[in-house]
Chains A and B, each alone.
Chain A
């Protein structure tokens, strides 16, 4: 089975991310995005990055997607007033995106042939290893990210609060 798992999951990721941007109903987009993030979690597990897999599962699929769904339900958008761009702009956008992917893959073809991905250290992505890294050389950025989260929380509360007249 070997590498076929990777190709199957990669196909599912691409398929569901296409569904995200082409679904008419925003709620369907959110649900497809959750499935896409689940396939990314499988990718992390295949790469043996278990800590990232768990964080992706909890933070992205748990917290961020619930936030999206919550706001979507709060705003009460229904299909009728869903804004759609004109057909010409859609075609132009898709053509521009195809140009981007052709450029990226073409420039990649120009480089040397890549060697297969081999995991040298089996406990590279485990919590023990990453924790030592996080609290060693990356101590300051780790603490700064907590201030970033605090700032974001204060900002979100201030932005959504109704101002008293």
Chain B
């Protein structure tokens, strides 16, 4: 692993922040432009992963393992969230025969 850590040297922290910002924004665009509930869910996963990468980069930057522990907790949270969310989608599909979120506008007004 010694050679692997040498390749890291020289990437500015800003570039990690740019990468995370871009991927987070791609997730936001996915949530805004898609109507399939499952694809929206996947966009939320993209946003979670962008934040995870940023936390890890900052953890390495400040030499503090707490950031990586938080990433671990976020991964556990994401697993729980996906299980509950997908079961809600399955229930919605059973009732409406589609995963279109525009069908679910009863709580809109």
Tell me if chain B binds chain A.
yes
Which chain A residue lies CB-closest to B30? Answer: A21
Q: Which of A13, A51, A67 is within 8 Å of B19, CB to CB?
A: A13
Contact with A along B1-33 (1 / 0, CB 8 A): 110110111111111111101111111111011
Pairs A-B, 5 closest by C-beta atoms: A93-B32, A152-B80, A21-B30, A97-B29, A93-B33
Which residues of B are in contact with A by a Cβ distance under 8 Å? 1-2, 4-5, 7-19, 21-30, 32-36, 38-39, 41-43, 45-46, 49, 52-53, 56-57, 59-61, 63, 65-66, 68-69, 71-73, 75-84, 86-91, 93, 98-100, 102
Q: Which of A6, A18, A137, A160 is within 8 Å of B91, CB to CB?
A: A160
Q: Which of A59, A74, A119 is within 8 Å of B8, CB to CB?
A: A119
The answer on a CB contact under 8 Å between A101 and B46 is no
The answer on a CB contact under 8 Å between B12 and A94 is no
Main SS class of interface, B:
helix
Which residues of A are in contact with B by a Cβ distance under 8 Å? 1-3, 5-7, 10, 13-14, 17-18, 20-21, 26, 29-30, 33, 36-37, 40, 43-52, 55-56, 59-60, 63-64, 67-68, 71-72, 74-75, 77, 81-85, 89-90, 92-94, 96-98, 100-101, 104-105, 108, 113-122, 124-125, 129-130, 133-134, 137-138, 141-142, 145, 148-149, 151-153, 155-157, 159-160
B57 vs chain A, min Cβ distance (A)? 6
The answer on a CB contact under 8 Å between B87 and A117 is no
Q: Which of B7, B34, B35, B68 is within 8 Å of A49, CB to CB?
A: B68
**Contact partners of B59 in chain A: CB under 8 A:** 49, 124-125
CA distance in complex: A10, B39 (Å)? 22
